[in-house]
Amino acid sequence: MPKEKTTEKKKSDKDKKPTKVKIDDKSAKKKDSSKKGDSKKSGKKSDKDRKSKFADVDKGDTANKATAFAKLHFNVISTQKWLAAYYKKYKIERKKKTDASDDDEKDNRVRILNAHFAMTATDQVICSTLVTAAHSSSKKESAGLYTITEENMINTVKLSKDLHFTFGRFLDSYDTDGNYCPQLQLKKEEVTKFIETYGVTGGGNTSIYLDSGAFNFLMYIIYRNRVLLAESAFQMSQYAKKSSVDDRAILFSLRTIYCGNLLKTMFSKVDEVSGLVRGTNIDKEDLDDESAKKGKNDKKSKKESDSEEEDEDDSEQESDSDSDEGSGSDSD
């Protein structure tokens, strides 16, 4: 007898069981290990693993840990904010990383890498130099207080060879009715305390008093000084094809702006602060030896470039904490 035909229903796509894809655990582990290897080779730590260089610093009576770290007295974060505002007029073209999440505005900004430390050092030198020179021509009051006037300060710039070389051209532009302190984001109490403690070369002198006009002129000169340095440092960075302005750009701008003893004092102080921040000082003998200077720079360039982003993150983190601490103050 012929066998009965059996009909089988065709399985639809929905009824079909999904085929399992076998994952090669070894290949996955290799990819994961290769990523870890790349991070080790680059030497960069994740945000969780990296510790801020300011973390263990005791700020003492300074405005913040960053200022204390550099052994300065004027608020370096205020200087950083001033620099950031000044450089907003410039846009930098840089190659974006494929995994970059920053917006265009942040990606095109001029990055500030330790330049605020160097510039704050020059603020203090200008303050001390100008006040010391003006003190010699000030009058002693009956109570033993030396009052420095606006006229004393202006005449000091006119008569001092070093100060006139840099700032003499700006005397005619000075506005006696202007208010320059807020433009610098400096606190008057901070400057006054510095003058009383370190204002006169060789030690503190609490018997010095700057009247309102003298203080305003001092702020004007510091403002002019910042603009000169910020512009020179930026142009040097552009020549070097860098997208950031660092403390070295400030340091090597000094010779284009100052002369005489003021230049020597400036260079010594900025080099000292730069050394504290970077952990090394520039050998002054190499300044006139181009071959030696080039050799040292070539060796340092890779290490410095790797640490640039970490330095910027430290400064921005400290800037945020400083804003929280000083919320409501007129300097922030």
Q: Please tell me the total count of domains within the chain.
A: 1
For 145, other C-beta atoms within 10 Å of its C-beta total 13
Rounded distance, CA 205 to CA 186, Å?
Answer: 21
Residue 258's domain comprises 54-93+102-299
Q: Which residues of the chain have pLDDT under 70?
A: 1-51, 94-106, 142, 201-206, 280-332
Report phi then psi at 243, rounded to 5.
-100, 10
- Give the pLDDT confidence score for residue 234 in this predicted structure: 96
Position 37 in a domain? no
Residue 60 gets the label, from left (phi > 0), alpha (psi -120 to 50) or beta, of left
- Give the pLDDT confidence score for residue 13 in this predicted structure: 52
CATH number at residue 282: 1.10.20.10
Position 310 in a domain? no
For 72, other C-beta atoms within 10 Å of its C-beta total 22
Position 9 in a domain? no
Position 128 in a domain? yes
Report phi then psi at 271, rounded to 5.
-65, -40
Going by C-alpha positions, the residue among 97, 125, 54, 96 that lies closest to residue 276 is 54
Position 265 in a domain? yes
* 188-198 helix and 115-135 helix, angle to the nearest 10 degrees: 60
Rounded distance, CA 75 to CA 322, Å?
Answer: 10
Position 15 in a domain? no
- Give the pLDDT confidence score for residue 14 in this predicted structure: 52
- Give the pLDDT confidence score for residue 127 in this predicted structure: 95
Report phi then psi at 241, rounded to 5.
60, 40
- Give the pLDDT confidence score for residue 197 in this predicted structure: 85
**What Å distances lie between residue 34 and 40, 149, 163, CA to CA?**
10, 68, 58
For 68, other C-beta atoms within 10 Å of its C-beta total 18
Position 39 in a domain? no
Position 228 in a domain? yes
